[in-house]
Structures are given as structure tokens and as C-alpha cells.
Chain A
Amino acid sequence: MLPFLSREEILRYSRHLLIPDVGLEGQRKLKQSSALVIGTGGLGSPVSLYLAAAGVGRIGVVDFDIVDVTNLQRQIVHGTSTVGILKVDSARQRLLDLNPHIQVDAINEPFTSNNAMHIAKNYDIIIDGSDNFPTRYLSNDTAVFLGIPNVFGAIYRFDGQASVFYAAQGPCYRCLFPEPPPPDMVPSCAEGGVLGVLPGTIGSIQATEAIKMLLGIGSSLVGRLLLYNALDMSFEFVTLRKNPKCRVCGPEADIKELIDYDEFCGVPGREVHEGSAGIEWDITPVELFDALKLSPPPLLIDVREPHEQQIASLPGAINMPLGAMAAHLSELDTARDMVLFCKAGTRSSRALELLVSAGFKRVKNLKGGLNAWAKEVDPTLPIY
């Protein structure tokens, strides 16, 4: 029995009720439905806002972070007033303000193999708003094992992708991407940037697909992948097919339960994400400040993209972007002390791994990057 709508809800959803394909019954279906949004960031923001506005009865938001000012360029469910508070609480507050007739489950946990099935089994659909490959594979596999759709979206700079992976009707994420990329090949938005409005477009498409799936109307993106280029304003659709050899959704699938996705994706440990290459290889900003007084000082190598130097830099540094570093190693003197740096220490940690594997020994990583330098040595330097 579908839930009834109150007089307030009938008024609120009038523009939905007027559409024959939705009507009173459709709106009651939405009220009965539940959706789990993985991530309350760039994609999760518009997705959760539009699902709330549409009257999806229960929305779960999963995140394990606090609101940061750098989020506000695109994560529109949050605001200046919620900087510093848990993202799921910030999102819940905003969603309930938009629509107090729904239930919002604020799940302040990392979405991992240990809890994914337990969390997701309570929802009709998963919307993937994550920002890393391990979570994408986890969301996919969880959806396949639970037999529910997984509405996919991904963004980077000006490019967006969207689809619906639903093993009961078509391919899953692994049918398209059986294997993750090598860890250094696909940069994050934190490293490469993203046009702020881009997740608004892709997230809105994800919300559209979720609502259609919950209502059972229209033609979904199952079996199709949308490729969006915001610079060209082009929309391309390519065909996706079930992979008969898919290890998760195929007829001879051999993966029957969730795995260690960090290991599967070759993700470096938490240290690298925090801008550290390990205590043996790090140099702190204060230590570097002292080392630069020596004669000769260490060679500073900036592994960022060239355009980032305009934002902030260190005097005398040479620029050798990480992506092209392998081709230029012979230009470096192995007998000279060198310090690698980037914005936050993540890319420079990876660059250090590259140099060490090539035989370099007199190399250090500036722990925490330029942002840490700005906090600890030179507060006039912008943090970005």
C-alpha cells in the first residue's frame, strides 16, 4: 500500500501531480522510495537536493568529512555557515530545510567493504557521487550483489560521464572498466581542478535517472554512457553492453562478495593522501627553510602543472610536472640534494617514489606541500 500524501504535500508537489506520467500515484511511489547517495560533494550535492525536492521519502547521505571552504565552489548543498561541521549533518540540515516531509539518514562513516552491504541494503537505489576508484568499484559491486541500480556519474575539469549500471537489465561498471587505472594515471579534482558548475549538470542528470527509475518511467541510461564536454557543450551517447566475462555480474562471475578495493586499485596508503612520503623521505617546511640557507642549497623541483606557478611558488624552483617527469629524469643530477614539492604533498610523494625507483637517493618530499609552507613558514603565500 503506497503512503498517502498530506494536504501540504499535495500542494508542494502540485507540479509533479500535473504530469500524467507522475500523478498522485507516482508521487506516492516517490514517498515510499529510498535512495542512498554516496558522497555529499560536487555530485552528491545536486543529486540529494533534487531527490529531496522531488519528495523521495528517505535519502541516505554517506560521507566522512567536514565542510571546507574549498568545497563551496561547487558543493551547493553546503554553505559558509556550515564550514567546519560534518558534511552529512550539513547536507541533512539543508535537505530538510528544502523538504521537511522526507527522512534524511546522515551516515558519517567511510563507505567500505565492512559496512557497505549493511548500509545499502536499506535502500532502493544507489547514486554514486564518490570521487575515487575504490569507492566506485565498491558501490558497483554492492549494487550488483543487492540487485539494485547504481546511478553513475563522474567529472573532471570540463568532462562529465553518466550512466545507470543495473545488472538485472544491462551492464555494470566493471563491464565497462574491468580493471582500475594505474594509481597515478587519473588525477583527482583536488589535483587537476573542476569547473564548479560541472557536477551540477551531471548530478542533475543522475537525479533525473534516479527519479525515473523509482517511478518506472521513460528510457533510462542503462546500456548507454553519456559523455558531456562542457567546453564544447556537446553530449555524446555511446553504447554499453554486458560483458559476458564480467567477474561480478557475468554468468560465470567468480567475485561473490566485496573485496579489498584499495588493494584492487593499488591505492597508496593514507600517508600519501596527507602529503607525506614517509618519515624517511619527508622534509618539513621549517626544515626546508633552514636547508635553503646552506651552500649549496638543495635543488627545488616543482612537480605541479606550469599554470599553478602563477598562484604560488618558491623562488628558484625548476618546474618538472609529474606527468612528464619520467621522460626528464636524465636531466637531474643524482649527486645533488633535491626537494620535490607540489600543492599539498600528494603529487610530490608520487614523484619521489618515481625518483627512488629510478635510483635517486638524495631526494626529499616537502611534507604537506606549498600549503604547509604557507601555514608554517610564509603566511603571505596563498593557500589553494
Chain B
Amino acid sequence: MPTLTLPALMKYYVNDLSEVQITGSTVSQAINDLTSQYPAIKPHIIDNQGRLRRHVNLFINKENINNLNGLDTSIEESDIIILMPSITGG
């Protein structure tokens, strides 16, 4: 199954995990699976219109999905997805 890696700041919403296994053949389906498995994470990554929040980036095998096919980007079984929200502490 594809693996989704999350930053430490999101662990509170996914039972303290840093990696979760997700199902789906596209990024969009993978995100839906993530929020189904862990509903607490949804408001932090999805806005009121159901869109990925603009400060959240997704990388598949280190490549930003914005440089691929966006949320319609296909996912393979061995893919690693990184969810990366913006942070600004200094």
C-alpha cells in the first residue's frame, strides 16, 4: 500500500503516527482515505469547500503534485507521499 508521511505537528490527529498506510489510485482518493481513517485531521488539511488547504503541499516520491497532475496524480503501490504544511516559527 502507498505510505503517507506526516510531520510531527499532525501526529495529534492520527494517533501519534508519523506514517499511515492509505488506499487509493489517485492523490485525491488517498486524501479522502486519510480523512476517513482519521477524521480529526480533516479541518487541518481540507477547507470548508472541500479543497486542499492552500498552505498544505503534497509530494509524491519527492515531487510536488503541482508539478505532476495535481490531485488527479496517480499513485502506485510503492509510492511515498509526503504531506507538508507550511510552518513559520523562527
Interface residues on B, range: 20 to 34
What CA separation (Å) do A133 and B82 show in the bound complex?
22
- Contact partner of A130 (CB less than 8 A), chosen from B43, B57, B90, is B90
User: Are the CB atoms of B7 and A159 closer together than 8 Å?
Assistant: yes
B63 interface hit (Cβ, 8 Å): yes
User: Are the CB atoms of B90 and A323 closer together than 8 Å?
Assistant: no
What CA separation (Å) do A86 and B67 show in the bound complex?
44
User: Are the CB atoms of B8 and A229 closer together than 8 Å?
Assistant: yes
Residue in B closest to A227 when the chains form the complex, CB atoms: B84
Q: What's the least CB distance linking B40 to chain A, in Å?
A: 9
User: Are the CB atoms of A153 and B90 closer together than 8 Å?
Assistant: yes
Q: What's the least CB distance linking B50 to chain A, in Å?
A: 15
User: Are the CB atoms of B88 and A133 closer together than 8 Å?
Assistant: yes
- Closest CB pairs A-B (n = 8): A181-B55, A131-B90, A158-B8, A189-B89, A156-B87, A155-B89, A156-B89, A238-B59
Residues on B facing A (Cβ under 8 Å): 5, 7-9, 11, 18, 43-44, 53-55, 57, 59, 62-64, 66-67, 82, 84-90
With A156-B9, A231-B18, A239-B64 given, name 19 new contacts (CB 8 A): A42-B89, A128-B90, A133-B86, A133-B88, A159-B87, A180-B86, A181-B53, A182-B54, A186-B55, A186-B88, A192-B9, A225-B84, A227-B84, A229-B8, A231-B8, A232-B8, A236-B62, A238-B82, A326-B43
Q: 20 A-B pairs, CB-CB below 8 angstroms?
A: A42-B90, A131-B88, A131-B90, A133-B86, A136-B88, A156-B88, A158-B9, A159-B8, A161-B87, A177-B57, A179-B55, A182-B55, A185-B53, A194-B89, A227-B7, A231-B11, A239-B63, A241-B67, A324-B43, A327-B43
